[in-house]
Copies of this chain bind each other. A is one copy, B any other.
Amino acid sequence: MTASVDTNFAMLDDIIESTWNEILTTSELVTAIKAGRISKELYVMYMIETYHYTSHNARNQALAGVTHAAGNPVYGKFCFHHAAGETGHEKMALHDLLSTGMDQSSFAIPEPLPATETLIGYLYWISMQGNPYRRLGYSYWAESSYQYINPLVRGVKDSLGLADSQLTFFVAHSEIDDDHAKEVRLMLERTCKNDADWRAVAEAAQTSLRLTGRMIEAVFDEYQHLMNDKSWRYAALRPATCVSA
């Protein structure tokens, strides 16, 4: 029985690793970061989209609890507890993007990109529909993604000369999420009873990670539009001097 759980986690880790590899090898944003071609504007755009989806995470997490607490109070309690832990994290993303010198008075945060909304909409959907444990698939990769993300964060930090105090979102998350990751793992062990549960979780993990990858690329595409004066969404970022990625 323990073996079976281990097998399921191994399968889950494989899917996540291969999906991260898809993203890391094909992403133009990742390539730009690795080559030191990241501009402040591109970073700000990424953090704005991060701000957007992060602002929904506690809420869709809680909705998973609202939907499933009656049938499964242990899981419901986990969802609400976890939602409490995630509330307000978007403020860190906001702090970080403002700390780069963005002039808040001349800049209103634009509506999220379509790719960001696609991710957000999917996360609400899996929280309320279908297999009850799917939202755990998102948490599982999101809270153990720092091995993949940290090299990129370091690249951005070096290129833009940012201090740790300007990277509260990533620094704080890598600490907070370590405990969360263990709780998510424990909850998966307790709730997933059969192949159908594990498949549903794995599919939701892969899909939410892929949609995150698409959001990353959409940020890069929008930045190209901005450089070509074709981004109505981020036009307010243009007056500043930009280094083309």
Contacts and interface: CB of A to CB of B under 8 A. Distances in A.
Nearest to A60: B66
A215 interface: no
B87 A73 contact: yes
B126 A117 contact: yes
A167 B186 CA distance: 32
Interface string A174-215: 000000000000000000000000010001101100010000
A211 B121 CA distance: 12
Given A73-B88, A77-B88, A84-B80, A118 B207 contact: yes
A111 interface: yes
Nearest to A70: B55
Count copies of this chain in the complex: 4
A62 interface: yes
Interface string A115-148: 0011011101110011000000000000000000
A84 B69 CA distance: 10
Most buried by B among A65, A66, A80, A111: A80
Most buried by B among A65, A88, A130: A65
Given A114-B206, A211-B118, A87 B77 contact: yes
A230 interface: no
Nearest to A113: B203
Given A130-B111, A199-B232, A207-B118, A58 B69 contact: yes
Interface of A: 55, 58-59, 62-63, 65-66, 69-70, 73-74, 76-77, 80-81, 83-84, 87-88, 91, 111, 114, 117-118, 120-122, 124-126, 129-130, 199, 203-204, 206-207, 211, 232
Identify the 10 closest CB pairs spanning chains A and B, nearest first. Answer: A121-B125, A73-B88, A80-B84, A114-B207, A80-B83, A77-B87, A81-B84, A121-B121, A121-B122, A62-B62
